[in-house]
Amino acid sequence: MGLFDRFKKKAPEPAPKSEWPKPPREDTMALLLMDRVLKNVGPAIEQLRKTFGERSVSGIDRSHPKVPAFTVTVDGLEFWCSYLPMPVPKEERDIAVMAQHNLFLSPERQEAFCNHKSFWVLAQKGGGKTLEGKRRACWDFSLVCAALLELEGAVGVSVTNTALLVSKENYLSRRAQMEEVGRDDPDYFPVPLWVWFYRGLQEDKPTIQTQGLAEFGLPELGFFDPELPVEDTLNYLFTMSSWQVTGKQLYRNMALIPLTEEIEVVSKQEGDTIFFIGG
């Protein structure tokens, strides 16, 4: 059994065209990478209590001399945290390969991810039974990650079931935006903390696609052979992804979708992805 197998579930079968939205994955998990080996987890516990209250950390388990663990409670949800004083095993997650394919990592940040020395495993069990529940779990999960990223030596976050890596600087910037907007905004969700945006190929044509929306029980999205500048295409994908996660819009097969007054795209489903053609 692999290191993280107990947190994984068998991937669901591809959904029929009419089945979305479907139940999201109930459990949520991420890794938080450090550029050093910590002497102890005391500063992390102190930081979490400072952020979420004195009673937020419980169940501190130091029975394993090198792998301490504890539970953080935020907004009524429990998050299990464990620290491992070693790099992420390559057979579990090849951080170096992932870093090469993340569009928003500078060369310096890529190098920092590749050279990490230890990591945290963060998991929330069972909070994502519905889309609303998954949003809530991921929102609070983001706050836990952001609190730990305040630690000296934190590098960034690797999100499970995606190739997404988010640097400390980017993550804390998004956390500030979350605080400014607030969780009650019906149109906002911190998509870049949970969804990977990448360049791909489909039928030998370039694409820009998402990976991570399936965690929410939603179709992945992509632009097929886009003609728009990459920055514009990414902005549309950010917005479309956020609208799906917040429940404002669900994209379906063979729909005509206006991007601007002059530009419309047609959606076409390929497997579990909705591609937009014509933009």
Distance in angstroms (rounded) separating the CA atoms of residues 226 and 218: 22
DSSP E strand stretches across the chain: 28-34, 57-61, 69-74, 77-84, 118-124, 154-159, 165-167, 196-202, 205-211, 220-224, 256-258, 264-270, 273-277
Q: Which two tokens stand for residue 84?
A: 């491992």
pLDDT at 77 over 60: yes
Q: Which two tokens stand for residue 257?
A: 């979708």
Residues with Cβ within 8 Å of residue 118, at least 6 apart in sequence: 33, 34, 36, 37, 38, 83, 84, 85, 86, 87
The pLDDT assigned to 84 comes to: 97
Q: What rounded mean pLDDT belongs to the chain?
A: 91
The pLDDT assigned to 5 comes to: 53
Distance in angstroms (rounded) separating the CA atoms of residues 242 and 236: 10
HSE-up of residue 208 (Cα within 13 Å, Cβ side): 19
8 Å CB contact between 165 and 102: yes
Q: Which two tokens stand for residue 270?
A: 């390929």
Over residues 75-98, the mean pLDDT reads 96
The pLDDT assigned to 2 comes to: 56
Q: How confident is the model at residue 63 (pLDDT cuts 50, 70, 90)?
A: confident
The pLDDT assigned to 40 comes to: 92
Nearest to 145 by CA among 126, 117, 164, 129: 164
pLDDT at 4 over 70: no
The pLDDT assigned to 263 comes to: 86
Q: How confident is the model at residue 112 (pLDDT cuts 50, 70, 90)?
A: very high
How far is Cα of residue 206 from the mean position of the Cα atoms in its chain?
A: 24
